[in-house]
A = this chain, B = another copy of it.
Amino acid sequence: VDGARALAAAPQATLRLVPPPGPEPGAAHRAAVVDLGSNSWRLVMFDYVPGAWWKRTDELCEPIRIAAGMAKSGRLDKAAIRRGVATLDVFSRLCRIAGLRREDVDVVATSAIRDAANADALAAFRAAAPGLDIQVASAEEEAIHGYHAAVNSTTLRDGTVVDLGGGSMQLVAVRRRRPAALGSWPLGAVRVTERLLPGAGPVSRKQLARVRAEVRRELEDAPWLGKTGGRLVGVGGGVRTLAVAAQRAHDMGAAGVQGFVLTPALLDELVETLAALPALQRGTVPGIKPARADIILASAVVLQTVVELAGFDGLEVTQAGLREGVFFANRLLAGGEPLVGDVRSASVRNLAAQYDTDLEHVEHVAGLALQMRDSLLASGDATLDPQERELLWAAAMLHDLGTTIDFRDHHKHSRYLILNAGLPGFDPRELALIALIAGYHRKGMPHLDEFESLMRPGDLGLVRRCAVILRLAEHLERGNDRCVRGAVLKGDPAGIYLELEVDGNAALARWSVERYGEDEAFRRAFGRPLVVASSA
């Protein structure tokens, strides 16, 4: 089976994905990252098997605003230190209860603590959490954490990463997936708000212009940023929040924000909407949480200016942040270069591994599906879109996830699980396409359903073609016994002909596929009936 072979030879590079450790929780490691940011502090726990799979398993978040007042005084104020001490007590308690040792937890303090003039604050924090090893990241280290998050959760090879926090903003130029230049500037949302947008009312054009001028002035020492444009990947809570708000405003949120692109026009619209509102009312804009209401405008203006300044195509959102960056580099990929080999296939395999997937079965189904698709294309069928090959593969690998919920309707459950777990590296449209293909892999006439607004012309045809090819592959492997070793489709104007290469008795596969031969969805996808050759 060529398809299966081609698949087996897919690049695996740094992250070698082995079969799931199976449901032996003992085999999984647990680690945590604590992010002591300028706006919020977070504790995230991860379960993982190095090089195999990972998953977030717990999270605590405190919108602590530790940098409050720093713009004026340069110091962490007393109330902030008290909040920090109490929060660290709670975080370290959860780590202890979860059985995490000191060396299992990476605690990273960023801009506010790094820059505070009062070093006693750090001493107070360390005293409050003797079980945690609080490390203050340098500006360069902070930038690299964001870079690790971005480059392992998107397909970025050449472009730029922006990490906008509460205290500082980091930019990293990326060439062939490696950091080529970087810098950090005091342009975090809390800091910019306190310095340049302190009022409670709506913000005037003049005030906005002042912020933009300040961003431009600060970035003068990054000549490498240039005017080259290209891809910009954004990291941080402000970026995520703005993406959700833009999606809500345009009804585009059905497949999440991962990979969503905030175009310059969307950023302009967000700045305009937010600036027209008093600070606290910005939290009533759908998608924006009240705790971020006062600083979200600063995030929007700073990001808008960065995009404009370098002429980027837009701002591509990733949900991974500093915490994931630290986790990837220090845990999941420890010991090698901290780069996932191929982000898209790694996401698919990570998700498959989290459920008790029968990898032999799904890889065989994927191989048959790709072989049928490729042979149909080779037989001169021009209706196939080259891009759909990878989406078909991903859907085939994940088509059975839903059996974990119930065998009945497992196609629908697979759709839900794919959508809700997400697949970093794919954008929302692609994620929705994969979910739809898997969701229609057993029956029904495929439609675009709630994802209409994310789709491009031709996507309905893509879903239909991939869904029916996947159905066919699933029927051929109905017995989960690999007795259909190969399957070829050839088209002519009257029909599409299926030829099988069989090893052993394929009665079950034939029974399945023949009953399927009358499927209306096949005819709608290819405009011709399916004809099953009786040979072999």
Query: How far is B509's CA from A93's CA once the two chains are assembled, in angstroms?
Result: 10
What distance in Å separates the Cβ of A431 from its nearest Cβ neighbour in chain B? 14
A426-441 interface code vs B (CB 8 A; 1 in, 0 out): 0000000000000000
Stretch at the interface among A211-219, A304-312, A370-378, A403-411: A403-411
Given A24-B23, A25-B23, also A507-B405 (CB < 8 A): no
Q: Are A56 and B408 in contact (CB under 8 A)?
A: yes
Since A57-B403, A59-B407, A90-B508 are in contact, a sample of 10 more A-B pairs with Cβ atoms closer than 8 Å, ordered by chain A residue number, is A22-B25, A23-B23, A23-B25, A23-B356, A56-B406, A56-B407, A89-B507, A94-B478, A94-B479, A413-B420
A445 to chain B, nearest CB (A): 14
A86 at the interface (CB under 8 A from B): yes
Please give, as numbers and ranges, the residues of chain B lying within 8 Å of A405 by CB-CB distance.
417, 420-421
Return chain B residues, CB-CB under 8 Å to A505. 93
Please indicate the chain B residues that have their CB under 8 angstroms from the CB of A356 in the complex.
23, 25
Task: Kindly supply a per-residue 1/0 record for chain A positions 467-479, scoring 1 wherever the CB is within 8 Å of any chain B CB and 0 otherwise.
Answer: 0000000000011
The contact string, 1 if C-beta is below 8 Å from chain B, for chain A 49-74, is: 00000011111000000000000000
Contact B57 A407 (CB under 8 A): yes
Asked whether, in the complex, the Cβ of B479 is within 8 Å of the Cβ of A97, the reply is yes
Chain B contacts for A58, CB-based, 8 A: 407
Query: Is A313 in the interface zone, CB < 8 Å from B?
Result: no
Task: Determine the distance from Cα of A55 to Cα of B508 in the docked complex, in whole angstroms.
Answer: 23
Among A58, A407, A409, the most chain B Cβ lie within 10 Å of the Cβ of A407
How far, in whole Å, are A408 and B44 apart by their CA atoms in the complex? 11
Is A511 at the interface (CB under 8 A from chain B)?
yes
Distance, CA A55 to CA B479, complexed state (A): 19
Within 8 Å CB of A507, what residues of B?
A: 89-90, 93
Q: Does A452 reach chain B (CB closer than 8 Å)? A: no
CB pairs A–B below 8 angstroms (14 shown): A23-B356, A57-B403, A57-B407, A58-B407, A90-B511, A94-B479, A94-B508, A97-B508, A98-B480, A405-B421, A406-B420, A406-B421, A409-B420, A413-B420
Q: What's the Cα separation between A526 and B505 when bound, in Å? A: 66
Contacts of A55 in B (CB 8 A): 406
Select which of B98, B408, B413 is within 8 A of A59 by beta carbon.
Answer: B408
Q: B480–A97 contact, CB under 8 A?
A: yes
| A416 contacts chain B at the CB level, 8 A cutoff | yes
Residues of B within 8 A of A23 (CB): 22-25, 356
Which 3 interchain pairs have the tightest Cβ spacing?
A: A23-B23, A97-B479, A90-B511
- What is A's interface to B at a CB cutoff of 8 Å? 22-25, 55-59, 86, 89-90, 93-94, 97-98, 356, 403-409, 412-413, 416-417, 420-421, 478-481, 505, 507-508, 511
Nearest chain B CB to A77's CB is how many angstroms away? 21
Residues in B whose Cβ lies below 8 Å from that of A511: 86, 90
In the bound complex, do residue A97 and residue B481 qualify as a contact, i.e. CB atoms below 8 Å apart? yes
Minimum CB–CB distance from A61 to chain B (whole Å) comes to 10
Chain B residues positioned under 8 Å from A98 (CB to CB): 480
Q: Bound state CA distance, A505 and B405, in angstroms?
A: 38
Please, which residues of chain B bring their CB within 8 A of the CB of A416? 416
Q: Looking at the assembled complex, report how far the CB atom of A21 sits from the nearest CB atom of chain B, in whole angstroms.
A: 10
Q: Is the CB–CB distance between A93 and B508 below 8 Å?
A: yes
- Roughly how many angstroms separate A97 CA and B484 CA in the complex, as a whole number? 14
Cβ contacts under 8 Å, A93 to chain B:
479, 505, 507-508
Please give me the residue from chain B that is nearest to A46 by CB atom.
B407
With a cutoff of 8 Å between Cβ atoms, the chain B residues found around residue A404 in the complex are: 404
A98 to chain B minimum Cβ distance, whole angstroms, is: 8
Q: Which of A55, A57, A479, A511 has the most CB of B within 10 A?
A: A511
Residues of B within 8 A of A406 (CB): 55-56, 420-421
A129 to B99 Cα, complex, angstroms: 55
Residues of B contacting A413 with CB < 8 Å? 420
Instruction: Return the chain B residue nearest A407 by Cβ.
Output: B56
- In Å, the complex CA distance between A417 and B404 comes to 10
Residue of chain B at shortest CB distance from A86: B511
Minimum CB–CB distance from A25 to chain B (whole Å) comes to 7
> Across the interface, which residues of B come within 8 angstroms of A481, CB to CB?
97
CB distance from A318 to the nearest CB of B (A): 15
Q: Which of A86, A479, A508 has the most CB of B within 10 A?
A: A508
- Min Cβ gap A248→B in Å is 16
CA of A98 to CA of B407 in the docked complex: distance in angstroms? 15
Q: Give the distance to chain B from A423, nearest Cβ to Cβ, in Å.
A: 12
CA distance A23 to B409 in the complex (A): 23
Q: How far is the CB of A399 from chain B (nearest CB, A)?
A: 15
Residue of B nearest to A58 (CB): B407
Which residues of the partner chain B approach A57 to less than 8 Å between Cβ atoms? Answer: 403, 407
Q: A198 to nearest B CB, angstroms?
A: 26
